[in-house]
Structure 1
Amino acid sequence: MSIPETLRKYFSQHSRVFKRRTSLLLACSGGPDSVALVYGLKEIEPTLTFRIHLGHVNHGLRKKESEKDAKFVRSLAKKMDWPVHLEKIKIRTKDAGNLEEKARLKRYEILTQMAKKHKCGAILTGHNRDDQVETILMNLSRGSGGQGLRGMLPLREMAHRLFLARPLLNISKKEIARYLGEKRASYRVDKTNDNQHFLRNWFRRTLIPLWESRCFHLVDGIMDVGQILQEEEKVWNQLTKSFVKKVSTPYRTGHVLDSQKMLRYPLAIQRRVLREMAGSDLLTFKTIERLRGWMISPPANGRIFQLRRGWIVERLSKSKGAPSSHHYWFYRKDSKRTEKENTR
């Protein structure tokens, strides 16, 4: 299926979301994937009910090349007759291993701000089939469960009424290159994508080709796993929310979990409940197991369990209104501070 046909099908499948949007923000790096998305959308533009904006975040990591990327995106937007929004930021880190992740998080933060400012109901990205396979395998190497092995979702809500859309997840890089050749479209090349110091690049350049040389249907098999788990996770998510309601109650700026009630359920449900309580992106398998172990340990083993991104689990005492020491308060550090400020 061609890229324009894929886009038509995508917007038709998700018409419930897109028919209510008047503008979308396309995250454009200037690379082949996002440029193919630009040209594909331009082809079907007469049938769209929304306007496309281009958004570009310049991390400044490649100095002059980064400036050329921004200039290219501005020129591309002018050619398409679309509004463009450019933002320049600085990523300061000496830890090269975290460089990609820090840049990604900051990029989405800025894109979210852009989308809200210009009243765009969704952010579109050019993530493709190859990216999906890499993501699933990288998550497998980290010991992810179903939520990680399902890969990137084609559509998900990032914030209230703001969606992240990935319409090209079933399109391969080869198909993208062929389409760009047919359109005679120019694009920017990021030479750091060849640097195998970054783990994703090593998966892309070394591991996957080696694996494919013996398992010819590797990519199809991994994509099938992702599709299976995406549907299964929908069911699990609904079930988990119902279990959370049974074992927890709202408390101040967070929720209180009754560990005795939780421990009556099978281990798989216990882990799902903890992920739901603290945010699925905050907990690795090992962290979940440490948290479970701490919760069933004697109170003498400490009152606070620190998670990532300001999340806290606090063992409540009877003096704080808890009926027993089996109650645990899940909250964010900044939300507790806000609560104190509001009560002054």
Structure 2
Amino acid sequence: MGPHPAVAAIRLAVRRVLHDVLTRHCAQAKAEPPLVLVACSGGADSMALASALAFEAPRLGVRAGGVTVDHGLQAGSDLRAAEVVLRLRALHLDPAESVTVRVGKAGGPEAAARDARYAALDAVAERHGAAAVLLGHTRDDQAETVLLGLARGSGTRSLSGMAATTGHLGRYRRPFLGVDRQTARTACLIQSLPVWDDPHNTDPAYTRSRLRHEGLPALEKALGKGVVEALARTAQLSRDDADALDSWAAEAERTVRGAEGTLDVAGLFALPPAVRRRVLRRAVIDAGAPAGSLFARHIEEVDRLITAWRGQGGLNLPGRVGVRRQGGRLVIRQG
């Protein structure tokens, strides 16, 4: 008899990712087997992911390790991190280690913690030469991300949620985007894996927590079951659309770009709005504006210099980037 359906589901999801990692690794003609790390908080999602990696990796000739990040935001977090390392080692993951980070304040507590975590994971991956780092985001996390993007009104790219593969050279992989949270928790229960429920995940002070425990249940009550699956499908469809528009914008940018820091207004005006706004966003970021501080309203203001020109003055954008219209050209420079 085969494994429990929940265990089979998480293993299949990881196996597919490992096959892709191996294919890329072989294409690079590297002799040593690739190392794949799992980022593990000790919660049900990441523990299920760690167990699936520990099971599948040896069967495919892949080295498997794990890392947990101690954000230092809760009393006893160092002890909790040490416990997670012991659980990873019990799964025969090697290397298995904990990394302590200092969380800043930029962008709010959730964004600051995320930035610190990814910086630490990047450093660990570089140090060990890891081919990939697996992240335990589930289909439920994807649905929450889509709703958060919708609330921000940030456009198609925001609605596309989390990509299955991100980071430098496709370092980060999310095998569980097609697996729901309950399946991961059930897999842990079936395998008798101890899990830790982060109190931050139920703290109403955090936007995602409120959405998880109040927003999504309210939507399911009003609309019926299947909301999470529908939002996850929306993410994939939006990502496909956004990728196509980004590719179009990259081609269009070459036709309107002039001397350093300038764009042709007539050429921009002729572009479809969705493509034009992408060209403008890329140009502003290239000039030095931080992507995380650049919102839809900023790009709309720049767009009005093209579509609603009434002789208005220039704009000051995040990162000390200035935008002004001058002689049929849009001048975008940091100053």
2:219 paired with 1:201: no
| SS, match of residue 214 in structure 1 | helix
| SS, match of residue 43 in structure 1 | helix
| Paired residues, number | 315
1:124 shift after superposition = 1.4
The whole-number CA distance in structure 1 between the counterparts of 2:281 and 2:24 is: 27
2:257 paired with 1:258: no
1:146 partner amino acid:
T
| SS, match of residue 26 in structure 1 | strand
Q: Which residue of 2 aligns with 1:101?
A: 111
Q: Which residue of 1 aligns with 2:188?
A: 180
Cα offsets for 1:197-245 (capped at 9, x unmatched):
2110111001111111232221222122112122222222211110111
2:294 paired with 1:283: yes
TM-score, normalised relative to structure 1: 0.82
The whole-number CA distance in structure 2 between the counterparts of 1:237 and 1:14 is: 26
Cα offsets for 1:127-146 (capped at 9, x unmatched):
00110000001110111211
Q: Which residue of 1 aligns with 2:47?
A: 35
The 8 Å contact of residues 278 and 311 in structure 1, kept in 2 or not, is answered as no
The whole-number CA distance in structure 2 between the counterparts of 1:170 and 1:124 is: 14
The whole-number CA distance in structure 1 between the counterparts of 2:50 and 2:67 is: 11
The whole-number CA distance in structure 2 between the counterparts of 1:235 and 1:101 is: 28
Q: Which residue of 2 aligns with 1:123?
A: 133
1:193 shift after superposition = 1.1
Cα separation, partners in 2 of 1:314 and 1:3, compared to 1, 3 Å: same
The 8 Å contact of residues 149 and 229 in structure 1, kept in 2 or not, is answered as yes
The 8 Å contact of residues 58 and 87 in structure 1, kept in 2 or not, is answered as yes
1:298 shift after superposition = 7.4
Q: Which runs of 5+ in 1 are unaligned?
A: 318-323, 334-344
| SS, match of residue 25 in structure 1 | strand
Q: Which runs of 5+ in 2 are unaligned?
A: 1-7, 286-290
The 8 Å contact of residues 264 and 330 in structure 2, kept in 1 or not, is answered as yes
2:297 partner amino acid:
K
Q: Which residue of 1 aligns with 2:278?
A: 272
Percent of aligned pairs with the same amino acid: 25
Deviates more, 1:44-53 or 1:284-293: 44-53
The 8 Å contact of residues 72 and 78 in structure 2, kept in 1 or not, is answered as yes
2:74 paired with 1:68: no
Q: Which residue of 1 aligns with 2:3?
A: none
The whole-number CA distance in structure 2 between the counterparts of 1:284 and 1:213 is: 32
1:180 partner amino acid:
C
Cα offsets for 1:254-301 (capped at 9, x unmatched):
x54333321222222211212233456553221111222356757872
Q: Which residue of 2 aligns with 1:338?
A: none
The 8 Å contact of residues 27 and 55 in structure 1, kept in 2 or not, is answered as yes
- Correspondence for 2:229 among 203, 207, 220: 220
The 8 Å contact of residues 31 and 188 in structure 1, kept in 2 or not, is answered as yes
The 8 Å contact of residues 125 and 167 in structure 1, kept in 2 or not, is answered as yes
The whole-number CA distance in structure 2 between the counterparts of 1:312 and 1:286 is: 15
2:334 paired with 1:328: no
The whole-number CA distance in structure 2 between the counterparts of 1:316 and 1:237 is: 24
TM-score, normalised relative to structure 2: 0.84
1:325 shift after superposition = 6.6
| SS, match of residue 329 in structure 1 | strand
1:75 shift after superposition = 0.7
The 8 Å contact of residues 259 and 328 in structure 1, kept in 2 or not, is answered as no
1:165 shift after superposition = 0.8
Q: Which residue of 1 aligns with 2:88?
A: 77
| SS, match of residue 200 in structure 2 | helix
2:78 partner amino acid:
E
The whole-number CA distance in structure 2 between the counterparts of 1:217 and 1:77 is: 34
Q: Which residue of 2 aligns with 1:248?
A: 257
The whole-number CA distance in structure 2 between the counterparts of 1:78 and 1:71 is: 11
| SS, match of residue 175 in structure 1 | helix
Q: Which residue of 1 aligns with 2:15?
A: 8
Deviates more, 1:217-226 or 1:291-300: 291-300
